[in-house]
Chains A and B, each alone.
Chain A
């Protein structure tokens, strides 16, 4: 059972480039989340989804977009990358009957 899988694990982007962080889960979880982790700042919620076709903004959504066309996949799109988006990104999922989230391995993104 793979759980939550994120790709890539590392990426370097140039300012102004775009990319998609992939996230897939095989636990049939309803809820999926994207967080970013910056040193000393904990995890901040970017976007989340309660099911296929439904997404909502979190605390820091600017500069990002998401889609949820299937239960399994929840990609995060960065348009026009900026140095402020240098961070570690985590995808997570949870089931409606279990409150805790299960996390992917994270993606370390550097924008130069």
Chain B
């Protein structure tokens, strides 16, 4: 069975600095998707970024980028120029192509220090 592991329950970063959140996953599939979701205090789940496993290029969305290492089964999220609004719980998630289920990690709570 596929699993997603986020080893950092909490992290803190100074405003305007860069922070990297870690995620590893376990799968025997070769074709899949990986996601980072943000959950602010409002509780709403917001898609931050998506990566297709067949793409070698790392996905980027403005200040958010990923480091996708397929062989190592690693999918980290880098947030540049951290802002107070980035404070949230961040979830890493996995979905195999052709599978119906999306599997989530336990989350990393990110604090932004002013």
Chain A residues near B (Cβ < 8 Å): 31, 33, 35, 40-45, 48, 50, 56, 58, 88, 90, 92, 94, 99-103, 105-106, 108
Contact = CB atoms under 8 A, between A and B. Distances in A.
Contacts, number: 51
Q: When A and B form their complex, which 6 residue pairs have the shortest distance between CB atoms, in order from nearest? A: A103-B45, A42-B106, A43-B104, A99-B33, A42-B104, A106-B43
Contacts of B44: 103, 105-106
Interface of B: 4, 6, 9, 33, 35, 43-45, 47, 50, 91, 95, 97, 100-107
B11 to A, nearest CB: 15
B70 to A, nearest CB: 16
A11 B76 CA distance: 36
Contacts of B47: 100, 102
Given A100-B47, A100-B50, A105-B43, A50 B106 contact: no
Contact of A42 (B33, B35, B95, B105): B105
A77 to B, nearest CB: 20
A45 B101 contact: yes
28 contacts: A33-B102, A35-B104, A40-B9, A41-B106, A42-B6, A42-B106, A43-B91, A43-B104, A45-B102, A45-B103, A48-B100, A48-B101, A50-B100, A56-B100, A58-B101, A88-B43, A92-B45, A92-B102, A94-B102, A99-B33, A99-B35, A99-B95, A99-B97, A100-B33, A100-B47, A102-B47, A106-B44, A106-B45
Q: Is the interface of A mostly helix, strand, loop or mixed?
A: strand
A105 B4 CA distance: 23
The CB with the most chain A CB atoms within 10 A, among B43, B50, B107, is that of: B43
A88 to B, nearest CB: 7
Given A99-B97, A99-B102, A103-B45, 6 more contacts: A35-B104, A90-B45, A100-B35, A100-B47, A103-B44, A106-B45
A103 B39 CA distance: 11
Contacts of A33: 101-102
